[in-house]
Structure 1
Amino acid sequence: MRGRAGSSGEGAPAAIGPAGDLAPGSLVWALLERSAARRLVEAVTRTELARVSGSIGRTDAPRILADRLARRLEDQMRLGGPLVGRGLPLRRDSSDVRCDEGLRLGTGGSCERVRWPDTVDRAADR
């Protein structure tokens, strides 16, 4: 592994970055905007590197993990995983067929039928 698996800075951890051992993950890393998501990926990277290192040794672990990551990312993209599974399907938050994640299709306005938990009248639930 080149450098530490984790980092608190803006760039990818050394193991994930473009020059790192897990370079296949650098494109996905670039899409992670939330620091909590980045910390999660860093933690899982460290855990998996340790697990693979325990099985095959520290020298080959980063390459094995990078190969696994590249293979799985390729499978997901070939099958359209992110698009088919999450990006394209309608996510209705109400019974209205025009509702997509609380927004009305066509207008982009709020769907009137959505009852958000923070706006629900607690007395009505009693």
Structure 2
Amino acid sequence: MSSSELQRNRAVLPMSTVRELTLLTDRQIRYYEQHELITPKRGKGGQRRFSLNDIDRLLQIKDYLDAGDSTADIKELFAKAERKNQAQLGTDNSLRRSLQDEFAQIARFNNP
């Protein structure tokens, strides 16, 4: 994971900032959390802390709802995307292992 991706995953934004950035209400954000569309981290005292990726996801949710999708539809869309990402990650890891094996064989030929 790149350093910029790590920064995007840092949960540091409070609810008030998220409200301003997304134009969603506290109630809407809590509702999306209740329906497991988002999972913000919790800070000391239990306050929700959001990352930039959480903001992106909330904006996606808002767009899907504006387009007429239900929360169940959105949850399934996110689940499908996650399964696709996991499958791609598995393919990437398989390819990486295959390349490592090839490099090991080449090294054995070069150093008998």
Normalized per residue, the structure richer in helix is: 2
TM-score with structure 1 setting the length: 0.33
TM-score with structure 2 setting the length: 0.36
